[in-house]
Structure 1
Amino acid sequence: MKSALCLCLLLLGLQVQGQYGSNLNAEQQEQKIPHSPEDHSQTEGEKLGLVKIVPSNTDFAFQFYKQVREEEGNKNIFFSPLSISTAFTMLSLGARSNTLSQLHKGLAFNLTEMEEQEIHEGFQRVLQMLNNPHQEVQLSIGNALFIDDRLKILQKFLDDITNFYYSEVVSSNFQNSAEATKKINDYIETKTQGKIVGLLKNLDPDTVMVLVNYIFFKGNWERPFNNLITRDDEFFLDAKNSVKVKMMHENKDFNIHRDEKFSCWVVEIPYKGNAAALFILPDEEKMKQVEDALLEETVSNWIQSLEKRKIYLDLPRFSISGSYDVKRLFKKMGVTELFSDQADLSGVAEKTLLKVSKAIHKATVDVRENGTEAAAATVIEAVPMSAVIPPPPHISFNRPFLMLIFDEITRSILFMGKIMNPAAEEH
């Protein structure tokens, strides 16, 4: 049997903080993806698709997180589940038979509850809504397909990836590996505004197509922390070890919830615009219990139970990144055929056997006083008012915690992570 030619997937999630730089990116997206914040003209299919894919995307995020946790142990975790699910769902347009079934199952799509068309219409709507350049947070998500000049892509596949996923299609000469690698790295560097440079080190000699998905997010807190009171403090890695961190402080109202069942605090910190960060602080020695409870239903209950309460909040300042071999993780999740010589991607190209040889994901986050994309927060229990008003509780994120960054309009989880050591070197 003729060995399959290779497809490489590069999946990126990036948050940076600050005031400069993303206007050009927003303008490029505005030209590319139609949007309207109150789009009443959207089709019923788009509406239904959006409603149906969000719970599946959330379930996928937590399933992928738990797989990463098995590999990473006590290391920091940070990734963009939406970047990964968007890329593989786009690729599923060209998958057939058991390869397609495995992909749907791995991405948490139940085809007895939704039609395949609804999945793609749902992602189409998510992309339209997230790429609105008029929102206060600076957020863009996009796709690109670099295709070898010799590969004859089926017109149906090209039409679908451009219609549903607004993918750019870039002709490339993969016979000149160095030139193709540079073109792809230059594209990534441009789309991440210089924050991710030289990601792709080399290409498999048989590579004929590379799919890139990126999410770029820059957000400012609705109410920034005062950097004049940030000070050195301890972050406790465990009962015996600690590291020095820059700890931010705040004394104001936050939306919070105390979950007694899972022994954790939940705090929401909003960004200017339609995004928010959700921080989960497990009680001591309760991290695994909280991680095991991560389900779409659990997080929905947390969000619905949030109540405004004044608290003293301590939150570490940090910058971390995560890099993951998605191919290896997906195979552990039961998605195996896509990466083997049995892969059926016959809906992609004419008379060409394809398989995925590499799928890598990198995400970075920077949490500062004026804003970030993934931050720690502190949560506190709301207590009934009485004649004697108690002082605001003091909750400190000075031990490992979880975080989610989500878009409030689509309810999509943009980024997810676990901070075990905010002073750790990026890996």
Structure 2
Amino acid sequence: MKKTLMILLATILVMLTGCGTENKSGGLEISKDVAFGEKDYEKIVSPANELGFKLLKEVEADENNNIFISPTSLFMALAMVYNGAEGETKEEIAQVLHSEGIDPEELNKANASMMSVLNKEADDIQLNIANSIWLNDKFTFQKDFAGSNKDYFNAEIAEIDIADSKSPEQINNWVKEATNDKIEKIVDSPLDANLVAVLINAIYFKGSWTNEFDKNETEDRPFQLLDGSFKDVPLMAMKEKFSYLENEKFQAITLPYGDGEMSMKVFLPKENSSLEEFKTLLTHENWTAWQKEFEVEKGTILLPKFQLEFEASLKGALKSLGMKSAFDENANFTKMINEDDQVSITNVKQKTFIDVGEKGTEAAAVTGIEMGITSAPINEPFRMEVNRPFFFTITDEETDTILFMGSISNPVQAK
């Protein structure tokens, strides 16, 4: 029998336009019981970006050939899981996070540092981070696993009765408040009877362009699709001084928010190139080099207004990137729960949303990591009827030497 329990690590990245309600999730307060360096976040900036570059090449596009992912969302979710991993599973997660050899505490310190740095309160930019853990009251986390999430990720921890119809409402209300109602729910009602816990990380951003686009300048213009055909889309227009980069492969522009502490970077492959060719150039090394090549120039940007919802299963992508044992019977998450059952990841999903307009950007991302506990299966009596062509070998078991092998399609009888 297979007993499946799900641990959903939901990481929500929300970027909102300059207009809207204020964040209700409150400020970030990392526990005074832990210490981290002010610049520890530098250890994970490049790894998180590199994860995104590699993930982009693995994720399947939607029916419109669009992809929209959040590497920060996935990185933080996997960093939380990392606290419960051991052995090969721990090494593989570290490899995917490009943080090989890093101690979980060091990774936690880097995430705490990053959350502290990202936490902003300004007229044009507001960025807050909130975390919570909702634990089935029939189970218990190991002290270190729960403590790390509480202390370094500032997670609110609450026990719930998963049979209580009010529990999913309680969780979803927290999500709505943390995201100013942009994401209304992360769990369905009723909760799965085998649910162990829901871990949620919410990042809220509200920002306006430093220079807003004039709505009167927005007009429908032809946009070329991958198949060579054209469709009319509303393009916003602005003449201004921008941080700009152009080479033989692409044009690139930086569109700042607020006082410039955050921005959107747009890369447009040249007509003699392609988006797929550009993706092959996306590496940490190239990205770092490009950032040094931007220069302030005067020019015009025409940028589409667009809205996109995207959903992808990242299980296959993470396996391709080297995180394999976490998904099978060799998974080692012995530092996660006190119970003796073996835990493995059953799926990783990410849902995203983005809306780009004249005033700013609105976006949301949810990363869910489902984890199951499996017990040893009970073998059913098997039936093997060799009534069709078959293959066979005669093997020396001590040396594993195959002495003979063959395939039989017509087992003729001796005369």
For the criterion TM > 0.5, the same-fold answer is yes
Structure-2 residue corresponding to 1:38: none
Q: 2:51, 2:71 within 8 Å by CA — same for their partners in 1?
A: yes
User: Displacement, 1:183?
Assistant: 3.0
Structure-2 residue corresponding to 1:9: 9
SS of match in other structure, 1:46: coil
SS of match in other structure, 1:129: helix
Q: 1:46, 1:124 within 8 Å by CA — same for their partners in 2?
A: no
Q: 2:23, 2:178 within 8 Å by CA — same for their partners in 1?
A: no
Structure-2 residue corresponding to 1:229: 217
In 2, the alpha carbon distance for the partners of 1:75 and 1:239 equals 10
In 1, the alpha carbon distance for the partners of 2:4 and 2:163 equals 16
Counterpart of 2:49 (choices 58, 63, 67) is 58
Structure-2 residue corresponding to 1:186: 173
Q: 2:209, 2:257 within 8 Å by CA — same for their partners in 1?
A: yes
Does residue 370 (structure 1) correspond to residue 359 (structure 2)? The answer is yes
Q: 2:23, 2:177 within 8 Å by CA — same for their partners in 1?
A: no
In 1, the alpha carbon distance for the partners of 2:20 and 2:318 equals 36
Does residue 312 (structure 1) correspond to residue 300 (structure 2)? The answer is yes
Structure-1 residue corresponding to 2:408: none
List per-residue Cα deviations over 1:130-188 (Å, max 9, x = no partner). 12334741222332211100112222222211121111212122244x54433333322
Q: 2:307, 2:355 within 8 Å by CA — same for their partners in 1?
A: yes
In 2, the alpha carbon distance for the partners of 1:365 and 1:152 equals 37
Q: How many pairs align?
A: 361
Structure-1 residue corresponding to 2:322: 334
Q: 1:366, 1:372 within 8 Å by CA — same for their partners in 2?
A: yes
User: Displacement, 1:204?
Assistant: 4.5
User: Displacement, 1:189?
Assistant: 2.1
Q: 1:3, 1:341 within 8 Å by CA — same for their partners in 2?
A: no
Structure-2 residue corresponding to 1:104: 94
Structure-2 residue corresponding to 1:174: 162
Structure-2 residue corresponding to 1:402: none
Q: Given the superposition, is the C-alpha separation of residues 121 and 199 from structure 1 closer, same or farther in structure 2, using an over 3 Å criterion?
A: closer
Q: Given the superposition, is the C-alpha separation of residues 204 and 336 from structure 1 closer, same or farther in structure 2, using an over 3 Å criterion?
A: farther
Counterpart of 1:268 (choices 254, 272, 284) is 254
Supply the AA of the counterpart residue of 2:287.
V
Structure-1 residue corresponding to 2:275: 287
In 2, the alpha carbon distance for the partners of 1:345 and 1:108 equals 19
Structure-1 residue corresponding to 2:22: 22
In 1, the alpha carbon distance for the partners of 2:231 and 2:315 equals 34
Gaps of 5+ in 1: 36-41, 375-404, 406-413, 416-427
In 1, the alpha carbon distance for the partners of 2:327 and 2:226 equals 39
Q: 2:23, 2:204 within 8 Å by CA — same for their partners in 1?
A: no
- Judging by fraction of residues, say which structure has more helix: 1
Q: Give runs of aligned pairs for residues 347-426 of structure 1, distance below 5 A.
A: 347-353=335-341, 354-372=343-361
SS of match in other structure, 2:68: strand
Counterpart of 1:76 (choices 50, 63, 66) is 66
In 2, the alpha carbon distance for the partners of 1:305 and 1:239 equals 32
Q: Given the superposition, is the C-alpha separation of residues 339 and 365 from structure 1 closer, same or farther in structure 2, using an over 3 Å criterion?
A: same
Structure-2 residue corresponding to 1:219: 207
Q: 1:48, 1:118 within 8 Å by CA — same for their partners in 2?
A: no
In 2, the alpha carbon distance for the partners of 1:365 and 1:21 equals 18
Q: 1:15, 1:217 within 8 Å by CA — same for their partners in 2?
A: yes
Q: TM-score, normalised by structure 1?
A: 0.77
User: Displacement, 1:236?
Assistant: 1.3
Q: 2:18, 2:124 within 8 Å by CA — same for their partners in 1?
A: no
Q: TM-score, normalised by structure 2?
A: 0.79
Structure-2 residue corresponding to 1:424: none
In 1, the alpha carbon distance for the partners of 2:186 and 2:149 equals 24
User: Displacement, 1:91?
Assistant: 1.6
User: Displacement, 1:278?
Assistant: 0.7
In 2, the alpha carbon distance for the partners of 1:129 and 1:345 equals 30
Q: 1:8, 1:357 within 8 Å by CA — same for their partners in 2?
A: no
Structure-2 residue corresponding to 1:396: none
Identical columns (%): 24
Quick check: which has more Rg, 1 or 2? Answer: 2
List per-residue Cα deviations over 1:270-314 (Å, max 9, x = no partner). 100410111100112421121011111211222111111111211
SS of match in other structure, 1:147: strand
List per-residue Cα deviations over 1:300-343 (Å, max 9, x = no partner). 22211111111121111111122222334323333233233433
User: Displacement, 1:360?
Assistant: 2.5
